[in-house]
Amino acid sequence: VSEFDLIIVGAGFYGATMAERAAAIGKRVLVLDRRPHIGGNAYSENEPETGIEVHRYGAHLFHTPNETIWNYLNRFTAFTNYRHRVYTSLKGQVYAMPINLGTICQFFRRQMTPDQARQLVAEQAAELAGRTPSNLEEKAISLIGRPLYEAFIRGYTAKQWQTDPRDLPEYIITRLPVRYNFDNRYFNDRFEGLPADGYTAIFKRMLSAPNISVALKTDFFEVRKRIPKSVPVVYTGPIDRFFDFAHGELGWRTIDFDTEVLSVGDFQGTAVMNYADENIPFTRILEFRHFNPERDYQTEKTVVVREYSRSATRLDEPYYPINTPSDKGKYMKYKEMAENEDNVFFGGRLGTYRYLDMHQAIGSALKSFESEIAPRLEAQHT
């Protein structure tokens, strides 16, 4: 390993961006990942029976307001013009998400103007009469009123957290977007699309330089002793694991995916259907063919994935940071330890215990490369 200038732990968007940038200035880079594939959580593969691209760690929709990040990623992939939309099933009816004027008119069964809908929601949200919300349910009611909360938020949230929303802290939600028009595009960002030839192809190109080596099925902690202290390390694994859980484990939620190939051409007519009813155990169903309508998959079969949410144990894939006050306290201690590691740079969603969208992981890697990594690498040979 001493022939490398930089070692990167994790072949997700954060690690791949770092590797690509370091290789571009002529550095020799080794990327380790304990998984058998590159791409981190954005990894996708074609389901063998149908050829349909399936995102193995949950649906990944690329979107960004940032033109620099968009241009950077466009060097490694073309994007389709996919525009994400989400629907929700509730008591045998289907509504468009996020809650918009169409949802509101359909739910209250009458046509309303934007001002009428705004006024109705404001009246319903006044239920707390100025009292400070003391749990998630009260917070949600203060934002959108009880009827919309009970229909669209309560059951879904209870399933996501496996907890009654009255027992969840109010800080989990700061806003619940309601649109007073009929626009049901899910994202507001200027740039959006899916990679034309799939997510994994992006990573193959990002890591294709001859001065980048990739070692898969390789756990950093098993090879750590062989890495000279003088070689800088970018670490994108879990920060608590790096320090042997010295301050305890950070809390995460995970998702169980139940994947099925069905003998129907089209199961639900859209990519994502949420299930708001609490008695239905899954939170949503993904149907992957709908992410790539331009591909015109020649199959009368379809791939659907049901998602079940629960809190993660150490053996599960960590997906969403829970971020209780106790988690935040622990993270601050780990962060302090990380700052004292002179030649290890922590990044990415696991390394900083933060939910990051893909564009944010790429953006923060680009920033950290400029401010910390490039200067360190340039100092190596002077």
Nearest distance from residue 340's CB to Na ion, in Å? Answer: 7
The yes or no reply on residue 294 touching Na ion (CB under 5 A) is no
The yes or no reply on residue 136 touching ligand FAD (CB under 6 A) is no
Which of ligand FAD, Na ion, none does residue 171 bind to, with CB < 5 to 8 Å depending on kind?
A: none
Find the binding residues for ligand FAD in span 334-353 (CB under 6 A).
Answer: 348-350
Catalytic residue check, 355: yes
Residue 33 vs 240, nearer CB to ligand FAD: 33
Structure token pair of residue 292: 């790539």
Cα end-to-end distance, the chain, whole Å: 21
Catalytic residue check, 307: yes
Catalytic residue check, 295: no
Tell which one of 183, 341, 370, 378 touches Na ion (CB under 5 A). Answer: 341
Catalytic residue check, 284: yes
Whole-number Å distance between alpha carbons of 166 and 138: 8
Burial of 106 (0-12, 13-18, 19+ CB in 10 A): middle
Q: Considering the candidates 253, 310, 354, 376, report the single residue annotated as catalytic.
A: 253
Tell which one of 4, 5, 13, 149 touches ligand FAD (CB under 6 A). Answer: 13
Residue 110 vs 335, nearer CB to ligand FAD: 335
Strand partners, 193: 62
Residue 105 vs 344, nearer CB to Na ion: 344
Nearest distance from residue 94's CB to ligand FAD, in Å? Answer: 21
Whole-number Å distance between alpha carbons of 242 and 379: 26
Whole-number Å distance between alpha carbons of 104 and 176: 14
Tell which one of 6, 11, 99, 136 touches ligand FAD (CB under 6 A). Answer: 11
Find the binding residues for ligand FAD in span 277-336 (CB under 6 A).
Answer: 319
Residue 294 vs 341, nearer CB to Na ion: 341
CA torsion through residues 197, 199, 201, 205, sign = positive
Residue 68 vs 93, nearer CB to ligand FAD: 68
The yes or no reply on residue 125 touching ligand FAD (CB under 6 A) is no
Catalytic residue check, 3: no
Backbone dihedral angles phi then psi of residue 310, each to the nearest 5 degrees: -160, 170
Tell me the residue number closest to Na ion, measured at CB: 341
Residue 10 vs 145, nearer CB to ligand FAD: 10
Nearest distance from residue 221's CB to ligand FAD, in Å? Answer: 5
Are the C-beta atoms of 303 and 189 separated by less than 8 Å?
no
Q: DSSP strand E in the chain: where? A: 6-9, 29-32, 44-46, 53-55, 62-64, 86-90, 93-97, 191-193, 212-215, 233-235, 252-262, 272-275, 284-287, 302-311, 320-321, 344-346
* Helix intervals (H) in the chain: 13-24, 67-74, 101-108, 114-125, 136-144, 146-148, 154-161, 199-206, 220-223, 239-242, 325-340, 348-351, 358-368, 374-379
What residues act catalytically?
175, 179, 253, 284, 307, 355, 357
Q: Which residues bind ligand FAD (CB under 6 A)?
A: 9-15, 32-35, 40-42, 57-62, 219-221, 236-237, 255, 319, 348-350, 356-359, 361
Q: Which residue ranges make up the site for Na ion (CB under 5 A)?
A: 341
